[in-house]
Amino acid sequence: MGTIACQNRADRSAFQEGRHAPAVRVLAVVADADARKAFVETLEALGYAVQAAGSAAEALELPGGAPDVVLSELELPDGSGARLLERLRSRPGWSDVPGVAILPAGWSEPTHRLERAGFVRFLPKPVCLPDLHAALQEAVRVGV
């Protein structure tokens, strides 16, 4: 677990005041079931509409249209988050969907390959709630 840090009640309630994000649709792709649940609950509490998947295959099978932003771990059980975003963005109506990458702890590699895949923001683990919210909002504003 430990994927979302800065998540105590005081931090969450102080952060939530006036910072809701209604109508922003997020596809969250997080491998660990407990971490995925924490992301979904946290994002929904902030007003995001969330679809979640635990693998690239599961994300590719979800029904519905394009979200406003894809939040994905880079290391998925069945492949790369970068490759997943490329595949999603190749679908009709998905080409402009930006991505926010959840980087493995200690990540030190350049991000240009990830940027080419469509990621516009990068969050190292553990993810802090205010950083998560800001990255999603910036990704939606900036787009690709």
Q: Which residues fall within 8 angstroms of residue 47, CB to CB, at 6 or more apart?
A: 20, 21, 22, 24
Token representation of residue 33: 């079931």
Average pLDDT over residues 45-52: 95
Q: Is the peptide bond before 92 cis (omega within 30 degrees of 0)?
A: no
CB 98 within 8 A of CB 119: yes
Query: Which of 1-10, 32-41, 56-65, 108-117 is predicted with the least confidence, judged by mean pLDDT?
Result: 1-10
Looking at domain 29-142, its CATH class is: alpha beta
CB 75 within 8 A of CB 81: yes
**pLDDT tens digits along 55-102:** 999 999 999 899 999 999 999 999 999 999 999 999 999 999 999 999
- Model confidence, pTM: 0.86
Q: If you average pLDDT over every residue of the chain, what do you get? A: 88
- 5 pLDDT band, cuts 50/70/90, is low
